[in-house]
Amino acid sequence: MRDCNEKNITTAVLEAFQGTPEVRLKAIMSSLIRHLHDFVREVELTTDEWDRAIDYLSRTGQGCTAERQEFILLSDVLGVSMLVDAINHRMPGGATETTVLGPFYVQNPPELPHGYDVSRGLKGEPLFVEGFVLSATLTPIANAIVDIWQADSEGFYDVQRTELPGSTLRGRFRTDREGRFHFWSIMPTSYPVPQDGTAGELLRATARHPYRPAHLHFLIAAEEHETLVTHLFVDGDPYLNSDAVFGVKESLIRNFTKEEPGAAPDGRTMDRPWRKLTSTFRLKGAAKPSAAPRAA
């Protein structure tokens, strides 16, 4: 390990990691070192650029809180989150496709009764959501956990609005014996990802727009099935073809139908126009039972 230079240092570093006892860690570190060193050589990274990179990553970590994960957001806008998701969720035909979790998922949201209005009075166009959770063989899955969350009509999540009284536009439902769940909300809207942190810096520096198309988030967990993390996107949204985090899949685009005033599916009488979304979610079977999230 003496007299290291730009030609031999990679070999020296790889040799230093040869004693790594865990096989998988050794393979990952060896590949990381090779690619990282090749990247530095290819761009001939300057000392100033390296210092700026260290500062950037340090500030990314400092921007993480219990409610916001700036590293996840950075991974999202770099396309890494979707690449990892695609590699780890190669879905069989007919199973609902996955997409990114996003930085605003909150573990153990409040469990709510079917029909609950998660908007809690926020302004917006009323939306009735009805879902059915099925196995790959189209068998209804009872007691599946369905976590939902979304942004409001101004493009903000509840954790970004400190004036809200608690969980808003998010919650947890359990499917009935027919695999069904339903709730009320408001129509989601397209919105910019947070730009006040390091991910926003990167988007501005590279002249990229920060917008995500309108969508609802779903995390669905059931015993003996792979946990599904996905979105449902609003058909016709102007950002479907340029999602800032590369999360749109054709199979996840839905028509949120326009409904006239009158009786809604749950018996509620609507005195103004509203929207309806009905969708089926088909879960991939797991080799081992997945660890479904439970209320704390």
DSSP state string for 78-135? TTHHHHHHHHH--PPTTSPPP----TT--SSPPB--TT-BTTTT-SS-EEEEEEEEE-
Which pLDDT belongs to residue 6? 92
Q: pLDDT tens digits for 233-260? A: 999 999 999 999 999 999 999 999 999 9
Average pLDDT over residues 76-87: 95
Residue 292 scores a pLDDT above 60 = no
Q: Is residue 295 part of a domain?
A: no
Contact between 179 and 132 (Cβ < 8 Å): yes
pLDDT one-digit tens code per residue, 83-120: 999 999 998 888 999 999 988 899 999 999 999 999 99
Q: Are residues 83 and 230 in the same domain?
A: yes
With a pLDDT cut of 90, the percent of the chain lying above it is 85
Whether 139 and 194 share a structural domain? yes
Q: Give me the CATH number covering residue 161.
A: 2.60.130.10
- Overall number of domains in the chain: 2
Has residue 293 been placed in a domain? no
- 149 and 245 part of one domain: yes
Reported as a single tens digit per residue, the pLDDT across 41-59 is 999 999 999 999 999 999 9
Q: List Cα–Cα distances, 161 to 195, 215, 246, in angstroms.
A: 15, 19, 25
Do 26 and 81 fall within a single domain? no
88 and 17 both lie in a single domain: no
* Tens digits of residue pLDDT in 271-281: 999 999 999 99
For residues 176-190, average pLDDT? 97
Residues 40 and 97 in one domain: no
Residue 293: what pLDDT? 52
Centroid of chain to Cα 102:
3
Q: Coil, helix or strand for 172? A: strand
Residue 296 in this model has a pLDDT that exceeds 70: no
In a domain, 61, yes or no: no
Which pTM value belongs to this model?
Answer: 0.88
224 part of a folded domain: yes
- The backbone torsions φ and ψ at residue 239, rounded to the nearest 5 degrees and listed phi first, read -105, 15
Nearest to 248, CA basis, from 238, 235, 233: 233
Q: What are phi and psi of 84, to 5 degrees?
A: -60, -40
Whether 133 is covered by a domain: the verdict is yes
Q: What integer pLDDT is reported at residue 277 of this predicted model?
A: 98
101 lies in some domain: yes
Q: Which domain holds residue 193?
A: 70-282
Looking at the structure, do residues 41 and 173 belong to the same domain, yes or no? no
Query: 75 and 159 in one domain?
Result: yes
**179 shares a domain with 36:** no
Residues 203 and 252 grouped into a single domain: yes
Are 105 and 215 part of one and the same domain?
yes
pLDDT of residue 291 exceeding 60, the answer is no
Per the rule left: phi > 0, alpha: psi between -120 and 50, beta: everything else, 144 is beta
Do 15 and 158 belong together in one domain? no
Query: Within a domain: residue 63?
Result: no
Q: Report yes or no: 1 and 18 within 8 Å, Cβ to Cβ.
A: no
Q: Is residue 54 part of a domain?
A: no
Given pLDDT bands bounded at 50, 70 and 90, which one contains residue 164?
A: confident
- pLDDT beyond 80 at 79: yes
Band of pLDDT at residue 8, cut at 50, 70 and 90 = very high
